[in-house]
Chain A
């Protein structure tokens, strides 16, 4: 047992207790799959797909992509400077660091759905509040992730930039950003992918796009259209993942 310490067994025990407790709370019971047949019957209603509304649904998919894209891109643009303020090694001082960290935690802790509900009261129904809700949440998530990338960046180039007489913020920007850029892109495309799924949920509260259609089709038992919605969502997510990996490949 040379690989393990006694403390690790204790951690394993705690983890096991947590798993058991969580399974009890969530009624986690694989034997419930006995009624697998029901799911089969339900899914069989999804086919054949109803492709008559495909042009309209395609248009709605484009709207979903636009919501997710703007939500992620503007989120990234705002999160980038904030992440430098929220990283220990680049923050101006302890106060700025703490305030920015708190702001990011706050934005991250409020789900997009809640932001969407709040924004509805001012902005009304439609895709715009959905975009803003995704931007808010993405600022929190991307800000935290990027600040952690900044903290783990090699400090050598930062020191070199200070040594040439560059102002600290310019030095930090040039020394850190090129180092972390491929990972920033990874995070961006991952958040873009997540934003597509989030915009589906925001469709439930009138955010528009394919999510709203999915919700309507589901409620009105139009399962043959639901299958088309799901297929389009899958295509969108795979496409974003593919484009993201190609761009990242090119950048690295």
Chain B
């Protein structure tokens, strides 16, 4: 469904590539955790999937078309089909829970509808259903900056859910949460993943979480793909290879 072929990314002014010759394919139903040390290229990798980060070499293919071949409209469509959650939630401050969730529909609406907030009652209903699905027990009209970290991430997941995504991307979505909340957020992601039969690709630092929830683990080191296997295959030796200093 998603294919990386010889993908390299080099940031302007950088000597070394952030991603180097990555080749990998993801299929529907896979719950993939991406491991690696800070700076290994995990965020760059995730951002290449929905085109937030353009590739320097190679290509990322969705079904039968590469992102670079797509028109602007097609790229927006890919993003619309991709729910993405972030470490710092990236919610819009001073807006309510339900308003934030409704921004997930921006890709489906015309600009003037977004600008004027012309959402149908079915859209609002969809947002309220998403609140239920992520088991958020706060007032939908509450401003997001008044929520806890875990609640904010649930709002972010609900925003991704109303997109009706085919792919779920997570850029260290639990890195700023306590271990208990992190586990609950992962349970929620997995439940949603199974229910909607998605492709989920999630960056994570916590190996225990990755081994508990992932159906496939991949690992990056210095921008290179150094491991691709099942959670069972990710043993202490692999762990040491990935996380030990290379010097």
Contacts and interface: CB of A to CB of B under 8 A. Distances in A.
Interface of A: 156-157, 159-167, 169-171, 173-175, 178-179, 181
Q: Which of B78, B89, B106 has the most CB of A within 10 A?
A: B106
A159 B163 CA distance: 16
Contacts of A170: 106, 111, 114-115
A160 B52 contact: no
B92 A164 contact: no
Given A170-B111, A170-B114, A164 B94 contact: no
A157 B176 CA distance: 17
Given A164-B80, A166-B103, A159 B94 contact: no
A156 B111 contact: no
Nearest to B91: A157
Interface string B100-133: 0001111110010011000000000000000000
Nearest to B165: A164
A166 B105 CA distance: 8
Contact of B76 (A160, A167, A174, A181): A167
A165 to B, nearest CB: 3
Contacts of B103: 160-161, 164, 166, 174
B87 to A, nearest CB: 9
Interface of B: 50, 52, 76-82, 84, 86, 88-95, 103-108, 111, 114-115, 156, 159-160, 163, 169
Contact of A171 (B88, B106, B108): B106
Nearest to A155: B90
Contact of A164 (B89, B93, B106, B115): B106
Contact of B107 (A157, A165, A178, A179): A165
B93 A163 contact: no
B79 A160 contact: no
Identify whether the interface residues of A are mostly helix, strand, loop, or mixed. helix
Contact of A165 (B80, B89, B90): B80
Contacts of A157: 90-93
Contacts of A165: 76-82, 106-108, 163
Given A160-B90, A163-B79, A165-B76, A174 B114 contact: yes
12 contacts: A161-B92, A162-B79, A163-B82, A163-B84, A164-B80, A164-B84, A164-B106, A165-B79, A165-B80, A166-B103, A169-B111, A174-B114
B52 A164 contact: no
A173 to B, nearest CB: 7
A163 B50 contact: yes
B86 A166 contact: no
A162 B91 contact: no
A156 B86 contact: yes
Given A165-B76, A178-B95, A181-B94, A159 B159 contact: no
Nearest to A167: B111
Contacts of A175: 92
A162 B52 contact: yes
B147 to A, nearest CB: 15
Given A156-B86, A170-B115, A163 B52 contact: yes
A159 B79 CA distance: 11
Nearest to A159: B90
